[in-house]
Structure 1
Amino acid sequence: MDLCVTVKGVSFLLQTGMGILGNTVVLLAYAHIIFTKSKLLPVDMILCHLAFANLVLLLTRGVPQTMMVFGRTNLLNDPGCKVVIFSYRISRALSVCLTCMLSVFQAVTIAPGLSRLKSGLHCLVFPTFAGLWLLNSAIYFQTFFSALAPRNGTIPAFTLNVGFCLVDFKNSLNYLIKGVLVSGRDFSFVALMVASSGYILLLLHHHSRQVRAIRRSQGSGVETRAAKTVVTLVVLYVVFFGIENMIWIYMLTEAKMSPAVADMKVFFSSCYASLSPYFIMSSNKKVKAKVLCAFEQDQPASMDTQESRDK
């Protein structure tokens, strides 16, 4: 096997494997929290949903891409492509929407005043989830008609080839409409998350005394820690979103494109989904405590097993 192909395959394998593991651990940690405490804060509910969306993204994009790099072809038939492409697009859309939702909810949480809105945030979480699912399902509903398994021969015009599947837009009008809808949604949510994160930074920088007073009156510094976590997640997303779109713009300007450039775009588009769960585990005290608790419980069991073998 060519060295370049090997490096590419190992990179995708590590990214996908680590991402699936990390998001699964975050989901299991939140599942245990729900089982023992039966209630999550709005930010925790969003983080849990974000981990689920990122897990689906990696399963529907990272896994087929990795298998394709290692030479597996004809992975899916037409129905399989419709389900996988639709699931990938919905999960990718939810990743940006939920990160935006996270930053907006956190900005409202730490903002001075707005007591009525803060008290009602918990009730707004599930309706917002439902609205985001409906919005993105409406945008991508056409996928069930346009996604196809790869065909032999020339690929028709206005057809997106993702390697393991094709997405046929039929004509230039559909291609243009879909591109405008998706790009408009992505940039709108990114702009909103950047604006709300900027507002959070402004509050933390210029009103630190007031924020500390709020924390003391509530008995903890949860809000400030959560705000820093949210801002870092937003920065992480914006960085990889920017890199992905710069590669995409470059691809649009070139008549002949190297497959390596397209692979780079896919790789960077999945980086946020792979790295974000590890940041959540390291910065969210609830998730971190559950992970450490599980690790500490596993260690004595391993030591007891080793001691019994030694005897």
Structure 2
Amino acid sequence: MQYTSMLASSSDQPACRNLPQTAMGILGNAVVLLAYANVLYTEGKLLNVDPILCHLAFANLMILTIRCVPQTMTVFGLSDLLSDAGCKLVLYGYRVGRALSICITCALSVFQAVTIAPGPRLSRLKFCLPSLVLPTFAALWFLNMVIYVPALLYSTAPRNGTVPAFTLNLGFCLMDFRDNMLYIIQGVIVSGRDFSVVALMLVSSGYILLLLHRHSRQVRGIHRSRSAETRAAKTVVTLVVLYVFFFGIDNVIWIYMLTESKVSPVVADMRVFCSSCYAFLSPYFIISSNKKVKARILCVAERDQAASADAQESK
């Protein structure tokens, strides 16, 4: 089977479509991080779910800056943008960031499912959850950095001539696995990790929805004592649905690229766009659904308006 994805020269028009997405995504995730930094500075602590959302914003920021910026820089006609070392760092950083995004979204759904679960069985685990956040982050970083070591070993800058077999051609970089076995092993490891994590987040999100439905009419249990937990749970479920939707589109395009010997640059660019949609949209959903983040943004906006009004009056 021929695994090479041979792309023609990328046109400027598709890359242009990624530029607004990249800019707005970087802005949105940076705003979320700054808002939480302000919460931490003024209040001295974050809620249990807040560090996970901060880490999700950071992972999404990695995806957009590392992968999408080189892609969109082709708009300006830059050729030979990256050296071999640059390609290794870009692809490794992007893949680790993408893996962290999916794993943190899964951890977020599992964390929230345990948090709102009724009964005394999970009470001890609920008490330990805040202390498990940082070790979980460390484990996810270590695991995914190990999984993507091949990105450091087999990534190279594009060269003139034909693209070898078992090579993923990403336009600005190549990933040459050199033989069929390495290609298959890496694909099985990554695909197995992705689909198992997506399955886990779907199960935990389904459990959250079941609990919300079961307790939706219990005013005492939901609207008073657990209103904050309910809002957080709905946010988590929406983030999971958002991720799974774009994950499905991304993988459909990916399978098509693997089965075709020649792939249009428009198709490759569409995959870049779809694979980055979650990183682009999720911060704006967090901003709209999180009262603390929204309050910090509105506070800054009101301060700027007041400063602008004072400046005009002084003139």
**Residue aligning to 2:7:** none
Which structure is higher in RCO with an 8 Å CA cutoff and minimum separation 6?
Answer: 2
In structure 1, stretches of 5+ residues that fail to align are: none
Q: Among 172, 176, 182, which residue is 1:174 paired with?
A: 182
CA shift, 1:78, in A, is 1.6
Mapped to 1, the partners of 2:60 and 2:219 lie a distance apart of 32
CA shift, 1:121, in A, is 0.5
In structure 2, stretches of 5+ residues that fail to align are: 1-9
1:159 matches 2:167: yes
1:136 matches 2:136: no
Q: Is the 8 A contact 2:15 2:269 kept in 1?
A: no
Q: Is the 8 A contact 2:167 2:177 kept in 1?
A: yes
Q: Which stretch has the larger CA shift, 251-260 or 271-280?
A: 251-260
Taking structure 1 as the reference length, the TM-score comes to 0.93
Query: What pairs with 1:106-125 in structure 2 (closer than 5 Å)?
Result: 106-113=112-119, 114-125=122-133
Q: Is the 8 A contact 1:204 1:211 kept in 2?
A: no
Distance 1:53 1:250, change over 3 A: same
1:47 matches 2:49: no
1:284 matches 2:290: yes
1:56 matches 2:44: no
Query: What pairs with 1:96-107 in structure 2 (closer than 5 Å)?
Result: 96-107=102-113
**Residue aligning to 2:214:** 206
Q: Is the 8 A contact 2:254 2:271 kept in 1?
A: yes
Q: Is the 8 A contact 1:237 1:272 kept in 2?
A: yes
Distance 1:208 1:145, change over 3 A: same
Q: Which stretch has the larger CA shift, 186-195 or 255-264?
A: 255-264
**What RMSD in Å do the two structures reach over aligned CA positions?**
1.7
1:238-268 per-residue CA deviation (whole Å, 9 max, x = no partner) reads 1101111111222233333211111111110
**Residue aligning to 2:154:** 146
Mapped to 1, the partners of 2:110 and 2:219 lie a distance apart of 17
1:90-127 per-residue CA deviation (whole Å, 9 max, x = no partner) reads 00000100000000000001110211111110011011
Q: Is the 8 A contact 2:242 2:278 kept in 1?
A: yes
Q: Among 71, 78, 83, which residue is 1:77 paired with?
A: 83
The SS at the match of 2:160 is coil
Mapped to 2, the partners of 1:180 and 1:197 lie a distance apart of 25
What is the aligned length? 304
